[in-house]
Amino acid sequence: MKNKFLSTILAASICVLATACGSASGNTTTDVTVNEETAETAEAANVEEADAAELTDSSFPMTIQHGLGEITLEEKPENVVAIAWGNPDVPLALGVIPAGISEANFGPRDENGLLAWTAKAFADAGVTPNVFDDTDGWDYEAISDCAPDVILAAYSGLSQEEYDRLSEIAPVVAYPEIAWTTTWQEETINDAKALGLENEGKELVEETEKLIADKLSQYPDLAGKRVAFAWLSEDDLGTFYIYTNNDPRAAFLSDLGFVMPDSVKSLITSDQDFSITVSAENADLLNDVDIIITYGTESLVEAMQADGRFANIPAVKDGAFVLLDSNDVLAAASTPTVLSIPYAIDDYLKALNDAAQKIQ
């Protein structure tokens, strides 16, 4: 079911175009009757389409508040630019082709610098993407050349200075409250709202959540498992990090029905914490963790199993890991978007289930 929703939208668009492109011929009474009926049907469709457009455009002018201020959009945007992680996926999933997008900065990318699900969306639409190489900083000139009516960045880490400079080009949809903490649901709905497609964005979220629930029903052993998403360095295990639910990678685990271990909760000192720092000397606090998700390879597991500070943690002892290689699709998909979820959820759940089978 990869990219089911985008494919459905694009297919529907093709059907509408095909219906609109017809021809009439012949002078018999029967032909005239058919042509009259076709004309009446087309006229009714045009009226419905006009009413729908008027209903959509009635949401403008629109004011959107976010973590760096607020914007006012006077009318429905025509040219859309989507920057930072995942934001390009939202308009694409809604059938809107961005005039320009950011290159992906992590994971396996194609010749255009795009992740597989984003590249597939452009390919399905038959469009060559206009991609900014902004991994070392925003390409303000390239963004400006797109003449955008709005810049989508609902999931991002924009500084106030960057936001102010981008705002000189076009209104910017920044993160709701705290940088890099936007969930995939918030990203979808907030970006969709700026397009005048808030209801469609909400429907897309509901459909995606239903897909998640349907997929989870195939893995009953995962229900209620206590999972920690960590960052560890094989070269230096002295300190490691565990992401809180403010990070969308960890928040997505809650969407999948997993539980944050009590040991992790106890180490969170602020509701704005993005991650917590743990000394290896205190690693045994994590005895209630069933599964560890982290970036790395089997050599990391072997190093932890050989390190007395980690060796007795049940998840380490059992080898109950989901290891994310930075060159693998799952590593990129672990920070979810509305397109990456249907693309990668089968592989992600299988990897989690494989880890769960190792729990003693």
pLDDT in tens, 182-202: 999 999 999 999 999 999 999
By C-alpha distance, which of 209, 193, 215 is closest to 336? 209
- pLDDT at residue 171, rounded to an integer: 98
State in Å, rounded, how far the first CA of the chain is from the last one.
Answer: 33
- The DSSP symbol for 247 reads S
How many C-beta atoms lie closer than 10 Å to residue 23's C-beta? Answer: 4
* Residue 278 β-bridge partners: 240
Q: Report the alpha-carbon distance of residue 318 to residue 346 in Å, rounded.
A: 23
The per-residue pLDDT for 308 is 96
What's the predicted TM-score (pTM) here? Answer: 0.83
Rounded distance, CA 252 to CA 247, Å?
9
Tokens matching residue 68: 């760096």
Domains of the chain: 4-57 (no CATH), 62-215 (3.40.50.1980), 220-356 (3.40.50.1980)
- Average pLDDT over the chain reads 88
pLDDT of 6 > 80? The answer is no
Q: Average pLDDT for residues 146-167, to the nearest whole number?
A: 98
126 in the Ramachandran plot: left (φ > 0), alpha (ψ -120 to 50) or beta?
left
Average confidence (pLDDT) over 136-165: 97
- Is the peptide bond prior to 108 cis by the omega test (within 30 degrees of 0)? no
Q: What is the pLDDT of residue 14?
A: 34
Span 214-223, pLDDT tens digits: 999 999 999 9
Using alpha carbons, list the distances in angstroms from residue 218 to 2, 212, 226.
17, 10, 19
In which region does residue 345 sit, left (phi positive, over 0), alpha (psi from -120 to 50) or beta (all else)? alpha
Tokens of 40: 């009446």
User: Which residues, in sequence order, are bridge partners of residue 243?
Assistant: 275
User: What distance in Å separates the CA atoms of residue 176 and residue 201, rounded to the nearest whole number?
Assistant: 16
The secondary structure of residue 226, as a DSSP letter, is B
For the segment 27-53, the average pLDDT, to the nearest whole number, is 43
pLDDT, greater one: 57 or 6? 57
What order of strands is seen across the sheet that includes strand 236-243? 275-279, 236-243, 227-233, 291-295, 321-324
**pLDDT confidence band for 117 (50 / 70 / 90):** very high
> 16 or 73, which is more confident?
73
Which pLDDT band holds residue 136 (cuts at 50, 70, 90)?
A: confident
Q: Which residue has the higher pLDDT, 140 or 46?
A: 140
Dig out the tokens for 90 from the structure. 């939202």
User: Residue 156 has what pLDDT?
Assistant: 97
- Tokens 């955008």 locate to 148
Q: Are 182 and 175 in contact (CB under 8 A)?
A: yes
Eight-state DSSP code of residue 311 = T
Q: Is 291 helix (H, G, I), strand (E, B) or coil?
A: strand
